[in-house]
Chains A and B, each alone.
Chain A
Amino acid sequence: MTYKSIFKILIVCIFTFSALFLYACEKENVEIASFSDFNESSIPAEISSEISEESIIEYDEVTKKTVDKSYFDDAVFIGNSRTQGLIYYNGLGNTTAYMDKGLKVDTVFDKPTVEMNGKKLSVIEALSEKSEFNKVYIMLGINELGWAYSDIFIEKYALIIDKIREINPDAIIYIQSILPVSEEKSSSDAVYNMDKINEYNDLIKDMATAKGTIYLNVSEAVADEDGYLPQYASTDGVHLNKDYCIKWFEYLKDNTY
């Protein structure tokens, strides 16, 4: 074998390795950019519960965008009386909203809440009937703060995500944190207080991350510097007035993927 042949083989090898390296980098970029494809099935079970805070922030930086109201036309909102305020006060007439004042993670499955074609359906039944949505926004938890076992709450919440994935595997699922209550409410109520809300929000965040959904810390849109809902934002310390529902919606518009 001449030196010339060896040189040729070396050149071919270098070229091949370079091509493979570039292909691998390209693949990595695609995976980061397509956050909508990021779902539970793509995460090994043993890793899913250990996704670091840093990785979520990295996704945020890459894919976060601000949208206008029309983004929510093909969305479904699922929530309780607080979500009713969001929908009504922001004039979200083109979006679909399955809401009930006392909606909880268990009644989502069995309480006839949504009127559709002359029948009253549970939220899950309604989602199955009309499954063409592209995004789902969920906020639940305030009505479950008094439950004896928070692990039952989060298990039921996780079941909702599984069911939505079964109904529409392509929909982007946004899980919103439980909004804060006022300081006065928090200090005077054994159930509706910030200790409980923070405990539940930690569980919700872990579950949302493990399930590969998008966790939105909407609390930061409405909380004061101490983490409470300002007194003037609500008459009862729980339900947001129009101005604060608008702040909440602005946050949703600024945090889409």
Chain B
Amino acid sequence: MKKIIAFLLVSVFLMSACGKNETLEMNIDDFAKELATAVDYDDELFLLEDEIARQLFDLEDDIEDIAMYLGSGSTSEMVAVFKTRGKYNTQKTYNEVLLFLRDLRDEYEDYLPKEVEKIDKFLLNKDGEYLVFCVTDDDKTAQKIINKYFN
């Protein structure tokens, strides 16, 4: 009986490990679009040109692709999905996004303090070479969409 349990445990472990080693592939444009359209926002978000989106982050060598939606400035709401050049670059991107969000918070703290609460609820998830962040009050819906792509 012990042998069977041990075999089952090892099998489960191996299966889960194999699952993690699968290379995640996705269309970041679709992912960002779904986050920008299926989540509730107070503002209307618009897709930025690739060049502008890249300039918002100091990550020229780390990002392979980016899809970003930004509001008009009336709120702090935004969405960005990155495909990086590797897991190391994903970590660098993660750190850079945290700095970006800190600056965003500082900017809104003086300008529209009510937005700070929203920024503090930011979602920032990474998986392999992909990273996503989202600023919204509807964080539950946003997280569901992120989970759909990342799990």
Contacts and interface: CB of A to CB of B under 8 A. Distances in A.
Instruction: Provide the main secondary structure of the chain A interface.
Output: loop
Contact of A81 (B46, B48, B111): B111
B28 to A, nearest CB: 19
Nearest to A240: B72
Contacts of A92: 52
Given A235-B44, A241-B44, A242-B46, A101 B74 contact: no
A211 interface: no
A85 B72 contact: yes
Interface in B28-69: 42-44, 46, 48-49, 51-52, 55
Contacts of A87: 52
A100 B107 contact: yes
A202 to B, nearest CB: 26
A91 interface: yes
A81 B74 CA distance: 8
Interface in A77-122: 81-82, 84-85, 87-89, 91-93, 100-102
B146 interface: no
A238 interface: yes
A93 B110 contact: no
A103 B55 CA distance: 20
A239 B48 contact: no
A134 B52 CA distance: 22
Nearest to A111: B110
A236 interface: yes
Contact of B73 (A91, A93, A239): A239
Given A101-B107, A101-B108, A93 B72 contact: no
Interface in A178-192: none
Contacts of A93: 49, 51-52, 55
B80 interface: no
Nearest to A120: B103
Nearest to B54: A93
A234 interface: yes
Contacts of A240: 72
Interface in B66-91: 70-75
Contacts of A88: 48, 52, 70
B72 A234 contact: yes
A235 B110 CA distance: 21
A84 B55 contact: no
B53 to A, nearest CB: 9
A42 B43 CA distance: 47
Contacts of B42: 235
B46 A241 contact: yes
Given A88-B52, A91-B49, A91-B51, A239 B111 contact: no
Contacts of A82: 73
Given A101-B111, A241-B44, A91 B52 contact: yes
Given A82-B73, A234-B74, A239-B72, A89 B46 contact: yes
A236 B74 contact: yes
Nearest to B72: A239
Contacts of B112: 101
A235 B49 contact: no
A235 B45 CA distance: 11
Interface of B: 42-44, 46, 48-49, 51-52, 55, 70-75, 107-108, 110-112
5 nearest interchain CB pairs? A81-B73, A236-B74, A91-B49, A239-B72, A93-B51
Given A91-B52, A240-B72, 10 more contacts: A84-B73, A85-B73, A88-B48, A93-B49, A93-B52, A101-B110, A102-B111, A234-B74, A242-B46, A242-B72
